[in-house]
Each structure stands twice: as structure tokens, then as C-alpha cells.
Amino acid sequence: MVFNPATDISDLAGKIIFITGGTAGLGKESILALAKKNSAHIYFTGRDEDRAAALITEVQAAAPSAQLTFLKCNMSSLASVSEAAKQLVSETQRLDILVLNAGVFAPEPGLTLDGYELVFGTNHLAHALFVKLLLPTLLQTVDARIVTIASRGHMRAGGIPFGQMRDPQSGFPARKLRYPQSKLANVLYTAELARRYPGLTAVSLHPGVVGTDMLLNAPWFERTVINVMQMWNREPIVTPEEGAYNQLWAATVDKSEVVNGGYYVPVGVVGPRTKQSSDAKLAEELWNWTEKELVGYPASA
């Protein structure tokens, strides 16, 4: 599909949008595009206040009427996620578009501040907490949309080792599976979310192989894997602006054009799934495990 955000995104008047990881990369490009479409307010997270301030200045130069609010958030801390969600809920009674964009690719092995494997804790668990805490607001918004940035890399996961999620997984082959497992969780959790809440529209997607800092600064092993995947899939490296196209499409296309719970590759194409990423039993197991881990963070009524 040929997609041009300038012409293919319809007017977003009245829409409240929230994007995690908005200060750089795909999140930043998404904000730049959506701000030009008359949205009522865009909230976004990040850790760098200077980058956030620079982005707001850049956006308002291109779209003077745009309303933006930065919510400082450390995705490796569930307490920080909870605080950001509470601030958002305190400021708006509706949420039309939620883009779960933040993530890490291949940091050194470690644990989140809550003791979870760093990649899984950041890419899946933190976003699942945002979903849990924002769900009441989403459910009271007509035609709310949730877009989760997954990856074609989920096809390399082979499953989710729930019993190892308190371990940094520093050895091989566990280390090379951290990112694929987190992205498999993104695909499965989205499908289960759509099944449990059919009134929402939830999709996951692969943005393409994007030349962001996260990719360019990855360790040699991970870059090698990506190069092999590129050759296998004949998939070029695209710019961050182009990499944002699939999530912009998924966030704004008419509801009739997406399959609830579906997984898409650029742009707007139903993507291939593995046995694991289509496993309804594994999706339910992930949902139950996640709910148990997040029990200390109840959603507001």
C-alpha cells in the first residue's frame, strides 16, 4: 500500500492521543505527523525533558495550534508508568488513540527496577500496565484504538519462558531471544486484548527495519541477525519517518479496514504469524501471568 500521512490521514478533530516513547525515532515522527491533523491533544512519554521540550517547539512551529503534554516516564519502572498513567487520567476523560511505541532492543543484560528481565519488562510489562490503568478511559471512549509496535522478530521467539522473567538472561542462547520474546508478547497480548474487549480496536504491527538509534547502536550480534533477516525477507532499512507509516496507518485508518487483534506489516498488510503468535492458549497464559504480576497496580474505576 502506498501511504502518505499528509494526504491519507483524515482530520483528527477532537481526538486525544497518547504515544509512549515520543521524544525520538518512530514516536517522534508519529507525533509530527498527527499534530498536523487537528488533534485535540497529544500526550507523550520519554525520559529526556530537553528532547521533549525541543520536540514541542518543533511541532508547534509546524502546527501552531497543536496541544502537547510531556509525561516523564521511565519504562523500566512500573511505579513511573503508574504515575504517568495517573497524570493522564487526571487530565482527560477520553482517549481515542493509544500508541504503545516505546521500547528497547538490545541493551546489556539486566533487570528493571522491579526485578524483571529488562527487555521483556520494558517492552511488554510496562505497556501492559499502561493498558490496564488506561482501560477504563479507553472503554468510555467511542471507537478507541490501541496500536502496539511489535516486530517481525517475534517469529524467532519460539515461546515465552515465564519462569525466567526474573533472570537477566545474560547467557546464550537466552540473550539473543530476549527481544523476540518481548515482541511475541506484544503480538499475543494485543490479540488477547481484542478478544476480551471487542468494543476496542487493538492491532500490533511490524514497522519495518528502521534506521533509528536503537538499531544503529545495537551490539554486533543483534545487527548481524537483522542483516540476515533483511536478506531473507528482502526488507530494506527505512528512515524513521517511513518507519512510522505503518503505525500511523493503523492508528487512523477507518475501523472497517483493520482486523481486531490483527498483526500488520508495512503498510497495512496482514503479516505472517508463527504457531506461537497464533496460539490462543499461550495468549491467555500471558494475559493471566501479566495480570498476576500487575496485581499491585489496580485501575481506577
Which pTM was predicted?
0.93
Q: Is residue 31's pLDDT more than 90?
A: yes
pLDDT in the model for residue 124: 98
pLDDT(109) > 90: yes
Average pLDDT, the chain: 93
Q: Residue 36 has what pLDDT?
A: 97
Of the candidate ranges 8-22, 89-103, 155-169, 198-212, the one whose mean pLDDT is the lowest: 198-212
Q: What span, in angstroms and rounded, lies between the C-alpha atoms of 252 and 51?
A: 26
Non-local (6+) Cβ contacts of 139 within 8 A are 197, 199, 200
**What are the pLDDT digits (tens) for 255-284?**
999 999 999 999 999 999 999 999 999 999
Find out whether 269 and 1 touch, Cβ atoms under 8 Å: yes
Task: With a cut of 60, say whether residue 227 has pLDDT above it.
Answer: no
User: Which residues are known catalytic residues?
Assistant: 179, 183
pLDDT given for residue 267 in this prediction: 97
Q: Is the peptide bond before 272 cis (omega within 30 degrees of 0)?
A: no
Give the C-alpha separation, 128 to 228, whole Å: 31
Instruction: List helix spans (H) across 174-294.
Output: 174-196, 213-216, 220-233, 240-243, 245-252, 280-293
Does the 5-209+239-292 domain belong in CATH 3.40.50.920? Answer: no
Where do the structural domains in the chain lie, given as residue ranges?
5-209+239-292
Higher-pLDDT residue of 300 and 171 is 171
